[in-house]
Structure 1
Amino acid sequence: MVTLLLDSTQLEVVLSRVERTLAFRKGNVVIERSAIAKVQLTDDGWTWLRGVPSPGTHVRGAVAMGTWKSTGANDFVLIRRHRPGVVIDLDGHDEFERIILTTRHGLALVQALRLDVQDEAADVVELAAEAEPEPKPKKPRTRAAKPATAS
């Protein structure tokens, strides 16, 4: 599973050794926060693929990792099976126009991007959890007394 680290200036997609190998990348994907134009949640990242892997790995329906090139656009893709994910549209990034990731933590990423975070990178799941307000205690429900009926 992909790890997402966020600090006050950048979002880092941390790749495991296997992910780096399948994506043909030597390092992680680093995105300046100012380059993030839009973040969308998706039920299936496969619907967002455009172009062909170059370089990358594609096993239909199972895995898509690496750089996808299409006419005038390069996307970084990290998709496993048909699972929920996140699509990050970029503006002004020197390498990619879009990042497509399969992750269970898409909502946490969206919430964390709305926060003013510290200079030290932290996992987006932890950031979103810290920002959630305490749940309000529920009031006990009382039933209204039924009026007595004459028989």
Structure 2
Amino acid sequence: MTVRIQREPFDAAAEAKALTAGRTDIGAVVTFTGICRGADDGRPVAALTLEHYPGMAEAEIERHVAAAEGRWPLMGVTVIHRFGRMEPGDDIVLVVTAASHRGDAFAAAEFLMDYLKTRAPFWKKEERPGETGWVAARDADDTAAARWEAGAERT
């Protein structure tokens, strides 16, 4: 398990390659990269600033990665989340899951992203033309995360 919170950009391909280096038992790798959008709800976004509580954020993400490892037979997981000010087109988050079979890798990646969107201790502030404000949680994201609590799994 690798969990990092960093200001610097990451290289998704290099992280996936590092996770599988020297391994011939892995049959599937799923990578997800979340990117800062230039518009949300039809309104332009100039930048997004992410803040976190150092130490607590890493521990919470590690706890959820461990939960994913308990639900699916994973052979490796990398989660990298950036903080600081990001502009449209900048990468924000990376989730890489490795497993023998694609269903496990996809399900674990989706589980982790649903968690990161709703429960990870990050605070997001959007800059829009003429205004700046904190981003509120979305009902659709909470609904997506809640299905995992009910034990839903896609394999």
TM-score under structure 2 normalisation? 0.27
Higher relative contact order (CA 8 A, sep 6+): 2
Higher Cα Rg, which structure: 1
More helix by percentage: 2
